[in-house]
Structure 1
C-alpha cells in the first residue's frame, strides 16, 4: 500500500535522486540542495513523500486558493506508481490546505503524466506556447491542468 507524509530535510537526498532519474530532466525539473532546503522550510511550500515518489506544492499562501503542484515524480516509470501516489497527493491537498484550485503545468507530449492527472480529475485549461526551455535548448509547450475543490468534492461523493 502506498503511503504519503510530509517530508523533512532528511528526505531531500531521496527527492534529489528521484528528480535526477534518467529522462526526468525533460519532464520533471530539479532544484539544487540549497534550494530544496530553503523551500522545505518555507510555509508557502509543501513537500510530500510516498514510498515510491514525491510531490512538491507551492503557493500555499495564495490569497485566491490557487495552489500549484510544482513537481511530481516516482522512482520507477511505467509501473503504476504515479497512479497510486497521485490520488493521495490530490486528497492531501484538499484536506490539509484551503486550496480551491489545484493546478499544474506539464510538458506537452508527456502522455504518461497526462493520463495520471486526467484519471485524478485534472482538466486541461490551456496551452502555454513554447513556455519551457528543455535541457537541449529546444522549446516546448506547457499544458496547464487543474482540478477545483467542487470537482474533488463530487469525486469523493462518488
Structure 2
C-alpha cells in the first residue's frame, strides 16, 4: 500500500472488479482509454508482470484505478498502461502519478517509465509533462475506435531524469 495525505493506492482485489469495469466503461473515461474484458482484469490480478491498483480517497471510497505493466521486463522499461479517475478535478490523477512514479523509481530497478496518451487528450498530456514525462513521438492512427482511428503520444521519464528532479 502507498499513501499520502490525500489518497492511498492498494492492490486491486476480485471484489473491486465491478468498480473497475464501471469506471472503464464510463462515457467520459472511455473516450480516452482502452477497454479490457473482465477476464483480462481478473488475469492481471495474479500476473507477476502487472500491478493492478485501486485509488482510494479514504479507505473504502474508491476514486479510480491504475494498471502498470512490464514489471518483469528485462529492459527495465515499465509502462503505466492506464490511469482512470472517476472523481475528476480533485487532483487524484496528479497525486496518483506522483506516488506511483516515486514508488516505482524507489522500489524497482526501472530505467524507463513510459505511457501513451491519446493525442486529443490535452489535459492528460499537460499533467504528464508537469510530472517530467518527455514526449517521444506519435504512433499515428494506431488505435481503432468504432469506425475511426486515433493516434497516441508516447511519453517517458528516465531514472536519471527522475533522480535529477528530486
TM-score > 0.5 by shorter chain: yes
Q: Which has the higher strand share?
A: 2
1:81 has 2:81 as partner: no
CA offsets 1:127-155 (integer angstroms, 9 cap, x no match): 11111112x32111110000111111122
CA offsets 1:72-118 (integer angstroms, 9 cap, x no match): 11012333221222111211222232211011111111011111111
Are the aligned partners of 1:130 and 1:141 in contact in 2 as well (CA < 8 Å)? yes
Tell me how far apart the structure 2 counterparts of residues 14 and 91 of structure 1 sit (CA, whole Å).
26
2:151 to 115, 126, 141: 141
CA offsets 1:18-47 (integer angstroms, 9 cap, x no match): 111112222111211111111111000011
Tell me how far apart the structure 2 counterparts of residues 6 and 64 of structure 1 sit (CA, whole Å).
24
Are the aligned partners of 1:59 and 1:66 in contact in 2 as well (CA < 8 Å)? yes
Tell me how far apart the structure 1 counterparts of residues 119 and 89 of structure 2 sit (CA, whole Å).
18
1:107 has 2:118 as partner: yes
Structure 2 residues without counterparts, runs of 5 or longer: 1-5, 57-62
Q: Which residue of 1 aligns with 2:161?
A: 151
1:1-150 alignment to 2 at 5 Å? 1-51=6-56, 52-134=63-145, 136-150=146-160
Tell me how far apart the structure 1 counterparts of residues 19 and 164 of structure 2 sit (CA, whole Å).
34
Tell me how far apart the structure 2 counterparts of residues 78 and 138 of structure 1 sit (CA, whole Å).
29
Deviates more, 1:1-10 or 1:82-91: 1-10
Structure 1 residues without counterparts, runs of 5 or longer: none
Q: CA deviation at 1:53?
A: 1.8
Are the aligned partners of 1:131 and 1:140 in contact in 2 as well (CA < 8 Å)? yes
